[in-house]
Structure 1
Amino acid sequence: MTYELSDTPEASLDANGPARHARRLGWNKVPEVTVYFWIIKVLCTTVGETAADLLNEKAGLGLTGVSALMSALLAAVLVVQFRTATYRAGVYWPAVALISVVGTLISDNLTDNMGVPLETSTTVFAIVLAVVFVVWYRRERTLSIHSIDTRSRESFYWLAVLFTFALGTAAGDLVSERMDLGYWLSAVLFALAIAAVGVAHFALGLDAVWSFWIAYILTRPLGASIGDYLSQPTGDGGLGCGTVVTSVLFLAVILGLVVYLSITRKDVADRASVTRQTA
């Protein structure tokens, strides 16, 4: 059983149909969207926030130096990801965790080093992400993550993921800081927004692919708000656990889940599931 926002993976944004999806199945480079997917995604976004803060505080490289280091590490992991023939949990999820850190650092660099207002960076990231989606769809005729089976689609996918993290970071900071809601209320707000997307899809017929990507964007500020709430000092509205404890704790949970999925392959789609979903 999957916990995806769609029971027809190719939904209305893929013109290729179920037969082509079955042919592509063995080459898909991303996991099946199960409850594990969303749990690890939120955990990765939390780590992206706390790890970025930790590295900036402890590494002694400055925000620019940390950004360069993490970008180089992300590039190396993505090279491995692109060279794999199909989805591998032990490669895919480290890439997501690192792209979460890099997306956070991109937003932080614009805000802290360049003085770009959060309103501006949020708008710019939203526009860039929209452009990525438009070009991706015009070229491939699909935005479904069940169709990441070529170099081109995989490139568009990771580019979109990067800007969802950057957009989520900027938008999350804008809401929590400028609207002065605090970390806990911000987390509740974004959780409710994700729930609203689910209701809009299941009850009101919101397109499955767009439902997925909207929820994907919203999990970024949700995870960041959770991470800040746990790690920030009590005087600032957090629980005071610190970035080290929070990052290590969430990384340990991510590692455990990735090992579990690597062994059980519960997030790898098979032809039977596709047949059920497209019937």
Structure 2
Amino acid sequence: MTAAVPAQNSALRILISKVPEITLFFWIIKILCTTVGETAADWINTNLNFGLVGTSALMISLTVIALVMQFRARRYIPWVYWLCVVLISVVGTLITDNMVNTFNITLVTSTIIFSVLLALTFIGWYRSEKTLSIHSIFTAKREAFYWLTVLFTFALGTAAGDLISENLNVGYLNSALLFAGLIGTVTLAHFAVKFDAIATFWIAYILTRPLGASIGDYMSQAKDVGGLELGTVTTSVIFLVAILAVVIYLSLTRKDQIRLSETEIT
């Protein structure tokens, strides 16, 4: 005679992920956030005369507060999650700007440094958790790895984007088209060739940063350097309003909420 299985063990528990489902909305907001990260950092630093140090201290403080809210949340809350992304995007830009402008570290060296740090984060994350899937972010440790990865992707994207558009004289618009084309290639590899979903996600995630930064620079910078001269304030407001509209929509519809069963978790 076999023993009865306790109800709590036989029932299929449902866990709520702390990050959104990967839909078209995810990529739209991600690119919008990366653009804001570029222009808002410039606006606070220059227009409000905070300077790099003052701007960095302010944005890091706000980011810490937002991350505490995110870690304390028991589920994915759109406005909290995307607030963290926006703020980390700004901080990532400021880290690169400080390295280049304050410590005179070249964009080439900065790009290499952040590439190594990102690779080490991926290695540490995988060795610890045996997965890099965004669908597995339901523990504090995995969430910590996730946000550290996000930070380094933003810093790397800023350095690489500036290196290509400015140092290599590719230009803001051409850089945006270049990175958009690379993202399109990665997307094609995923859907047409069935390239690994996790790898293609993170490659595309990294590429959206220089794409957004190039778009932000193209819209905000002066015409004599290849921009539209809308300014950092106007550009930031346009994209912040767009982010707010999409986040409100997702909060009401819950179209990007992941629900995972135990059998789906690795």
Q: TM over 0.5: same fold?
A: yes
Which of the residues 133, 146, 149 maps onto 1:144?
A: 133
Match in the other structure for 1:74: 63
CA distance in 2, matches of 1:203, 1:253: 31
- 1:193-272 to structure 2, matched below 5 A, reads 193-270=182-259
Instruction: Measure how far apart 1:251 and its partner are.
Output: 0.3
1:87 aligns with 2:111: no
Contact 2:17–2:259 at 8 Å: present in 1 too? no
What SS is found at the alignment partner of 2:20? coil
Instruction: Measure how far apart 1:206 and its partner are.
Output: 1.9
Contact 2:16–2:259 at 8 Å: present in 1 too? no
Instruction: Measure how far apart 1:32 and its partner are.
Output: 0.2
Which of the residues 34, 40, 43 maps onto 2:29?
A: 40
In the comparison of the two structures, how many residue pairs are matched? 254
Q: Deviations over 1:145-174 (max 9, x none)?
A: 000010000000000000000000000011
Residue type of the partner of 1:140? E
Which of the residues 127, 132, 135 maps onto 2:124?
A: 135
- Taking only aligned residues, the RMSD between alpha carbons, in angstroms, comes to 1.7
Structure-2 change in CA distance of 1:269 and 1:135 (3 Å): same
CA distance in 2, matches of 1:132, 1:145: 14
CA distance in 2, matches of 1:26, 1:249: 36
Computing the radius of gyration from Cα coordinates, the structure with the larger value is 2
CA distance in 2, matches of 1:260, 1:202: 27
Contact 1:125–1:167 at 8 Å: present in 2 too? yes
The structure richer in strand per residue is: 2
Match in the other structure for 1:50: 39
Residue type of the partner of 1:196? T
CA distance in 2, matches of 1:147, 1:267: 15
Structure-2 change in CA distance of 1:235 and 1:79 (3 Å): same
Match in the other structure for 1:31: 20
TM-score under structure 1 length normalisation: 0.88
Contact 2:16–2:260 at 8 Å: present in 1 too? no
CA distance in 2, matches of 1:192, 1:228: 18
Q: Which runs of 5+ in 2 are unaligned?
A: 1-11
Any runs of at least 4 consecutive aligned residues in structure 1 with deviations exceeding 4 A, and if so which? none
Q: Deviations over 1:165-201 (max 9, x none)?
A: 0000000011101210111000000000001111222
Which of the residues 135, 148, 158 maps onto 1:159?
A: 148
Contact 1:198–1:211 at 8 Å: present in 2 too? yes
Q: Deviations over 1:105-128 (max 9, x none)?
A: 000000111110111010010000
CA distance in 2, matches of 1:91, 1:198: 28
What SS is found at the alignment partner of 1:269? strand
Contact 2:37–2:87 at 8 Å: present in 1 too? yes
Match in the other structure for 1:108: 97
CA distance in 2, matches of 1:107, 1:269: 33
Q: Deviations over 1:6-32 (max 9, x none)?
A: xxxxxxxxxxxxxxxx85x52310000
Contact 2:19–2:137 at 8 Å: present in 1 too? yes
Identity across aligned pairs (percent)?
59
Instruction: Measure how far apart 1:58 and its partner are.
Output: 1.8
Instruction: Measure how far apart 1:271 and its partner are.
Output: 5.8
